[in-house]
């Protein structure tokens, strides 16, 4: 049912991004619209700040004045978002919001550690051998020791410099070994 959902950008009063996100999440829940509005995001990044000679890492908004929303646009969902306090409108034309391009979304989500691309599901088991197809360990054969479905990675042992070395690789970097 995810088919009609796209990511849109909402313009907010500057400094109200988190408040808008909280209000919208509350509104969507109270109106039972979770199926229409799935995710709301205020992209943040770490910035190193110098204050009184001390380095501090602070979170900074990547797009001040904007909130990203993954939603299915229809009259009801548009109205709910548009009438959330702090929202000044959608980015796009007044009546028809313009969705973000898929590659823009992928880049933003990846920067937030939220890759939403469906991970390749791979049917391998601990103890099985796989061939690493890319990266620094390309063409090595690894014996799987751990599988992390959530991250889409696995750990395995490779034979390097005459001894076993543990490596972590992404699902996309392996193929089943034909041995």
What mean pLDDT comes out for the span 116-130?
74
Q: Are residues 17 and 88 in the same domain?
A: yes
Q: What percent of the chain has pLDDT over 90?
A: 50
Using DSSP's 3-state secondary structure scheme, residue 75 falls into: helix
The Cα–Cα gap between 7 and 75 comes to 16
Q: Are 88 and 163 within one domain?
A: no
CATH number at residue 89: 3.30.70.940
Does residue 62 sit in the same domain as residue 143?
Answer: no
Q: What is the rounded average pLDDT of the residues 79-87?
A: 93
CATH code: domain of residue 150: 2.30.30.30
pLDDT confidence of residue 121? 62
Closest CA to 22 of 40, 7, 35: 40
Give the DSSP H or E segment for 104. helix 102-111
Query: Total structural domains in the chain?
Result: 2
Q: How far, in Å, CA of 152 to CA of 57, rounded?
A: 29
Of residues 112 and 116, more confidence is placed in 112
Mean pLDDT of all residues in 120-139: 85
CA 108 to the chain's CA centroid: 7
Q: Among residues 112, 138, 159, which one ends one of the domains? A: 112
pLDDT value at 171 more than 90: no
Domain range for residue 104?
A: 6-112
In a domain, 51, yes or no: yes
Are 43 and 104 found together in one domain?
yes
107 touches 159 (CB < 8 A): no
State the pairing for strand pair 153-160/163-170: antiparallel
């Amino acid at each position: 049912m995810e088919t009609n959902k796209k990511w849109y950008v909402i313009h907010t009063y500057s400094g109200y991004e988190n408040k808008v996100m909280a209000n919208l999440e509350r509104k969507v829940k109270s109106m039972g619209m979770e199926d229409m509005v799935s995710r709301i995001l205020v992209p943040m990044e770490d910035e190193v700040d110098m204050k009184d000679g001390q380095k501090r890492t602070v979170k900074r908004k990547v797009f001040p004045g904007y909130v990203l929303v993954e939603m299915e646009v229809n009259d009801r969902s548009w109205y709910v978002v548009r009438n959330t306090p702090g929202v000044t409108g959608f980015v796009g034309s007044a009546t028809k919001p313009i969705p973000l391009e898929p590659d823009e979304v992928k880049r933003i989500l990846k920067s937030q550690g939220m890759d939403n691309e469906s991970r390749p599901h791979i049917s391998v088991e601990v103890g099985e051998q796989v061939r690493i197809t890319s990266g620094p360990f390309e063409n090595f054969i690894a014996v799987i020791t751990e599988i992390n479905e959530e991250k889409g990675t696995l750990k395995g042992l490779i034979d390097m410099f005459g001894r076993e070395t543990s490596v972590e690789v992404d699902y996309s970097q392996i193929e089943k070994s034909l041995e």
